[in-house]
Amino acid sequence: MRSSSLTMPLEPFVANNVYTHLSAVGNGTPPSFQEVKTVLPVPELPEHAGFVEMYWRAWEIAWSNLKRPNSQNGFIAPYMKAVNRPVLSMWESSFASLYGVYARRGFDFVGALNNFYAHQHDDGFIVREISTEDGQDLFFPYGPNATGPNFLAWVEWRHYRITGDNGRLAKVFWPLMALHRWYRANRTWPNGMYWATGESSGLSNQPRVPDSRYHHRHWTWVDATMQAILDCRILEQIGSQLEQTDLVRELADERTALIRLVNEQLWDDDAKFYKDVDGNGRYSHIKSIGAYWALLDKDVVPPKRLEQFIRHLRENWAFKLSHRAPSQSADSEGYNSETGHGCRGGVWPPFNYMLIRGVDNVGQEKLAHRIAVNHLRNMWEVYQHTDTIWDNYAPEKPAQGDPTEKDFVGPSGIAPIAMLLEYVIGIQADWPLRRVTWNRVLETAAPYGVRNYPFGAEGTFDIVGDGERVVVTTDVPFTLTIQDNGFSIQTAVPAGTSEIDLT
């Protein structure tokens, strides 16, 4: 399981000409926001005009952070600069890719990740931040905070499911596989479970592990281990498509072992929650939102534990606060009710998106929708007074967090864009299966939906409806599943305009 060589050499993906191996729009200047607006999806929500206003504002701010490579940084693809810093951030670029997929005909957000693959070291390491001024790695490979969190494969897989770009998938598999092996070799304990730090986890000041902002403190970290399981699963799926039998077996063996270990060692049966564990088997006192990375792989949480684990999201004394969901539960030590104090209760759009996708993944679609609507309502309350999007928010009142940063799009664009389309309006598309699912649970009397939704390489569709009928106009055929008020309709939608009766 710890083999040191890949069946395909890594060199082509770390060489300076990596750009020729990976698909991207090109090195030209990104189009203006006004130019690209015509190719973006158009949400229709008459009774939630504020959500739509935030949607367009988020795109506008995102576009202001797009940059082209230059001779000083030597990047190989256009990119999104980190908010308020001269840095290319793996965290920010990854979440931007998750919503940027809807703007792929104007800018190749996922192509910006090519800059990280081009910086991959010979042993598989990829740094988490690169200077946009001189193109230098900002961390040394073996520093505890040098990379992470490890979810690049998840981002690439989401991009593939929406776009069907299996050509890109075949090429990024190799750097992703090398990175996974680097994590396994350098971020694990002898039993195979993983560690992180506050900085590398994205939950920098959370007191889950004592004095751990910059060090692992010899604990097993629940989110790092859950992310490794997810990484194995996705790389297994890509590897299967590429007929990499040996690598698939290697990944499956590690994933099976990790699922067994997290359920044996990281489940606190008294708290009914997955937690970090120290070297003596003692659990952290903190219930961190990071534990919910577990839900992105359906096999991690056994059925007998699933409802217990999710119940914390329904409890007013845990994660169901006036602004859902805080980065750590309200009944955890160090929780800050006033501002959230960063990751000690602050509500962060990227973590909420991860949580919502996980909840949906295990069949809790209505809960996912409720959390999404609650999150956007709170963001809208703050937006009305500030005209911008923040990196985190207070957990118990409609206010930005503290400390926080304004115009944080970047990663916070994931909520007013992807969360709005996927979990408030409820549209999810899967191009490889030619399938669109509309989960119609939004409480509104007015017709709603989305127009100009990009589907596949060149297709688009409009889908708008009320409680009685749905009208679809598309230039590519697909299978549509509508879930509405407890019943489900599946129908083949041909190119052209179709009306679907819901009564």
Is the same domain home to 319 and 415?
A: yes
Residues linked to residue 131 through DSSP beta bridges, in sequence order? 87
Question: Which residues are CB-contacts of 172 (< 8 A; sequence separation ≥ 6)?
Answer: 22, 113, 117, 156
Residue type, 493: V
pLDDT in the model for residue 3: 34
Among residues 166, 158, 144, the alpha carbon closest in space to that of 224 is found at 144
Q: How far is CA 253 from CA 6, 28, 83, 221, 225, in A?
A: 17, 44, 39, 20, 15
H or E segment and range at residue 252: helix 245-261
Is 31 a domain residue?
Answer: no
Backbone angles phi, psi at 98, to 5 degrees: -70, -30
Contact 461, 474 (CB under 8 A): yes
Is the same domain home to 335 and 406?
A: yes
Q: How far apart are CA 309 and CA 224, in angstroms?
A: 18
Is the same domain home to 450 and 494?
A: yes
Contact 434, 361 (CB under 8 A): no
Is the same domain home to 396 and 474?
A: no
Is the same domain home to 469 and 389?
A: no
Is 21 a domain residue?
Answer: no
Q: Please give the structure tokens belonging to residue 129.
A: 């931040």
Picking from 387, 419, 451, the residue at the C-terminal end of a domain is 419
Is the same domain home to 400 and 441?
A: no
pLDDT in the model for residue 403: 94
Helix (H, G, I), strand (E, B) or coil at 417: helix
SS (H, E, C) 344-387: CCCECHHHHHHHHHHHHHCCCHHHHHHHHHHHHHHHHHHHHHHC
| More reliable by pLDDT, 84 or 359 | 359
* Mean pLDDT, rounded, for 320-348: 98
The yes-or-no verdict on residue 158 having pLDDT over 80 is yes
Cα radius of gyration (the chain): 22
The yes-or-no verdict on residue 23 having pLDDT over 70 is no
Neighbour count for residue 37 (Cβ, 10 Å): 16
Full DSSP string of 258-286 = HHHHIIIIIEETTTTEE--B-TTSPBPS-
The yes-or-no verdict on residue 15 having pLDDT over 70 is no
Is the same domain home to 326 and 413?
A: yes
pLDDT in the model for residue 485: 76
Is the same domain home to 320 and 369?
A: yes
Is the same domain home to 473 and 393?
A: no
pTM (two decimals): 0.95
The yes-or-no verdict on residue 27 having pLDDT over 60 is no
Q: How far apart are CA 325 and CA 370, in angstroms?
A: 11
Residues linked to residue 347 through DSSP beta bridges, in sequence order? 393
pLDDT in the model for residue 487: 87
Is 489 a domain residue?
Answer: yes
Q: Please give the structure tokens belonging to residue 367.
A: 């809960």
The yes-or-no verdict on residue 26 having pLDDT over 50 is no
Residue type, 154: W
SS (H, E, C) 119-154: CCCCCCCCCCEEECCCCCECCCCCCCCCCCCCCHHH
Number of domains in the chain: 2
Half-sphere exposure of 240 (CA within 13 A, CB side): 8
Is 107 a domain residue?
Answer: no
Cis peptide before 403 (omega within 30 of 0): yes
Is 80 a domain residue?
Answer: no
Contact 431, 451 (CB under 8 A): no
- Summarised one tens digit per residue, pLDDT across range 205-252 is 999 999 999 999 999 999 999 999 999 999 999 999 999 999 999 999
The yes-or-no verdict on residue 25 having pLDDT over 70 is no
Q: How far apart are CA 287 and CA 267, in angstroms?
A: 11
pLDDT in the model for residue 503: 85
Among residues 58, 33, 45, the alpha carbon closest in space to that of 450 is found at 45
Task: Give the position of tokens 């009306």.
Answer: 499
pLDDT in the model for residue 294: 98
Residue type, 304: K
Check residue 463 and give left, alpha or beta (phi > 0: left; psi -120 to 50: alpha): beta
The yes-or-no verdict on residue 104 having pLDDT over 50 is yes
Full DSSP string of 295-338 = GGSTTSS-HHHHHHHHHGGG-TTTT-SSSS--SB-TTSTT--SS
Q: Whole domain around residue 339: which residue ranges?
A: 41-67+315-419
pLDDT in the model for residue 28: 65
Is 151 a domain residue?
Answer: no
Is 334 a domain residue?
Answer: yes
Is 137 a domain residue?
Answer: no
Is the same domain home to 373 and 402?
A: yes
The yes-or-no verdict on residue 1 having pLDDT over 90 is no
Q: Please give the structure tokens belonging to residue 293.
A: 């990375």
Q: At what angle do helices 49-64 and 365-386 cross, to 10 degrees?
A: 70
Q: How far apart are CA 372 and CA 471, in angstroms?
A: 25
Q: How far apart are CA 445 and CA 439, in angstroms?
A: 16
Q: How far apart are CA 241 and CA 236, in angstroms?
A: 9
Q: How far apart are CA 135 and CA 158, in angstroms?
A: 27
Q: How far apart are CA 477 and CA 474, in angstroms?
A: 7
Contact 395, 346 (CB under 8 A): yes
Contact 87, 49 (CB under 8 A): no
Is the same domain home to 404 and 449?
A: no
pLDDT in the model for residue 326: 98
* Mean pLDDT, rounded, for 108-122: 96
Picking from 389, 419, 449, the residue at the C-terminal end of a domain is 419
Q: For the chain, give the mean pLDDT.
A: 93
Is the same domain home to 391 and 474?
A: no
Q: How far is CA 119 from CA 76, 86, 108, in A?
A: 10, 17, 19
Question: Which residues are CB-contacts of 141 (< 8 A; sequence separation ≥ 6)?
Answer: 121, 123, 125, 127, 147
Picking from 360, 386, 419, the residue at the C-terminal end of a domain is 419
